[in-house]
Amino acid sequence: MSADIANRLDLDPDYNAELADMVAAMNVAANRLTPSNGYRTTPRRLSLSDRKLSLQERSSYQNGINPRIARRPTIESKRVSISDGDDCVQLNQYKLKNEIGKGSYGVVKLAYNEDDDQYYAMKLVSKKKLMKQYGFPRRRPSRDSNGSLENLLKHSGLLDRVYQEIAILKKLDHLNVVHLVEVLDDPAEDNLHMVFELVPKGPVMEIPTDSPLTEEMGRFYFRDVLLGIEYLHYQKIIHRDIKPSNLLLGDDGHIKIADFGVSNVFEGNDALLSDSAGTPAFMAPETLTDQDLRFSGKTSILYYLQSTLFGFRLWMYGQWETAPVEFPDMPVISDGLKDLIIRMLDKVPGTRITLPEIKLHPWVTLDGTDLLPLEEEHCTVVEVTEEEVQNSVKLVPSLSAVILVKSMLRKRSFSNPFECPSRRQGRSMSAPGVLTV
């Protein structure tokens, strides 16, 4: 965002004037809202009464898995206020700290919530990045055409995808699925802010890797992923981007599935998909065809799962697409795991092992001695009203853009004001390890 604004200020006098108008107009609004303090003072924080709480079903399950406290309802903030006090940016009650991860749509930052004294993971999804990524034509917003970024995105349908992610996440409540806590959005700002529970140990592993998991650990994590996927299917959601970097490790040692940017909500028994969204290295062959064929979402996800399981133990991406699977000598893997991998690798979707069958596979259940909970034991239907889904994000004007621009001008720097320079030494979650806060 900062580079973009810098370019425009340097190269485009028209836009510069337009921006100055925008800043002036926003200043008027700022003065109206905070007449005595001005924009730089910490804004009045929202109290709970300012926020709408969405309904969320609560569920917990036991049967071999620790029971847990049901998730708190997702909070929809009606106003986003940014201040650049101290040495880092504050968004409502959240102080943004160091970066803990990076995805294709933006960065993920550690965020301290002053209200409850807890740390969270705040995902900043750049709407501009979304546009660029999908080759959306570059057009400069003009005052007459109502061509604001928000409008361009709306018409391109890309923003819908982000809102879809939010609506989906807000419905979910499961031990093995990451919990969305709050959504902050501001049409005048490039970033959409999604506040998630912090899953402190980050991605379960990076692949390719020289140190694969032991078979025992691989089974433990794989069982978690199976339950998370089963829950998602129960909620009629196909994730479509299951891979180790989207499998985060919680303090309780369990896997939480994250990142629903590429997902589908379906009706009936299964999703019939035709596009090849997701990460190619993990995708099923039928999703990669050039032909306009439809394929089963539930079946194709098993291929992701298999690739992930495979990745837990060894990494042979590409080989099985053209030749029969050949397992390397090292690391040694059991016949049970080989059987499961081969059955999941079936190139023919119709004969590929299904998720209920995988749950009963001897390798997964230790020959029937360690059964997984039944679907009805860990899944509960989550009901949300149409209105709640429609209102997954509140679009409200705020002062963030003017503060951002002024902060850049004041510092004579177009570096990202969301960065907290003094705290940059924090670890990046692109490498596995423990986060200390």
Ligand X SMILES: Nc1ncnc2c1ncn2[C@@H]1O[C@H](COP(=O)(O)OP(=O)(O)OP(=O)(O)O)[C@@H](O)[C@H]1O
Name which of 125, 91, 123, 128 is nearest 110 in CA terms.
123
* Bridge pairing between strands 75-76 and 180-184: parallel
Contact (Cβ atoms closer than 8 angstroms) between residue 257 and residue 231 = no
Longest dimension (CA), the chain: 73
Residue whose beta carbon is closest to ligand X: 101
To the question of whether residue 97 is assigned a binding role by annotation, the answer is: no
Q: Whose Cβ is closer to ligand X: residue 218's or residue 244's?
A: 244
Which DSSP string do the residues of 217-261 spell out, in sequence order? HHHHHHHHHHHHHHHHHHTTEE-----GGGEEEPTTS-EEE---S
Q: Whose Cβ is closer to ligand X: residue 101's or residue 417's?
A: 101
Contact (Cβ atoms closer than 8 angstroms) between residue 276 and residue 287 = yes
Interaction site with ligand X (CB under 6 A) = 100-105, 108, 121, 123, 178, 196-199, 202-203, 241, 245-246, 248, 258-259, 261, 429-430
Name which of 175, 176, 218, 230 is nearest 354 in CA terms.
230
Phi-psi region of 264 (alpha: psi -120 to 50; beta: other; left: phi over 0): beta
Residue partners of 290: CB distance under 8 A and separation at least 6: none
Name which of 231, 252, 225, 183 is nearest 59 in CA terms.
231
Residue partners of 76: CB distance under 8 A and separation at least 6: 51, 52, 53, 54, 182, 183, 391, 392, 393, 394
Catalytic residue among 241, 270, 329, 339: 241
Q: Whose Cβ is closer to ligand X: residue 84's or residue 241's?
A: 241
Which DSSP string do the residues of 362-395 spell out, in sequence order? HHHHTTTTSPPPPHHHH-------HHHHHTSS--
Q: Whose Cβ is closer to ligand X: residue 344's or residue 429's?
A: 429
Q: Which two tokens stand for residue 248?
A: 């985060």
Contact (Cβ atoms closer than 8 angstroms) between residue 426 and residue 88 = no
For the bound state, the minimum distance from the C-beta of residue 431 to ligand X, rounded and expressed in Å, comes to 9
Residue partners of 91: CB distance under 8 A and separation at least 6: 80, 81, 82, 111, 122, 184, 193
Q: Which two tokens stand for residue 414?
A: 């177009």
Q: Whose Cβ is closer to ligand X: residue 112's or residue 196's?
A: 196
For the bound state, the minimum distance from the C-beta of residue 428 to ligand X, rounded and expressed in Å, comes to 8
Contact (Cβ atoms closer than 8 angstroms) between residue 93 and residue 44 = no
241 annotated active-site: yes
| DSSP 3-state percent helix, strand, coil across the chain (nearest 5) | 35, 15, 50
Active site members: 241
Residues annotated in a binding site: 123
Binding-site sequence positions for ATP: 123
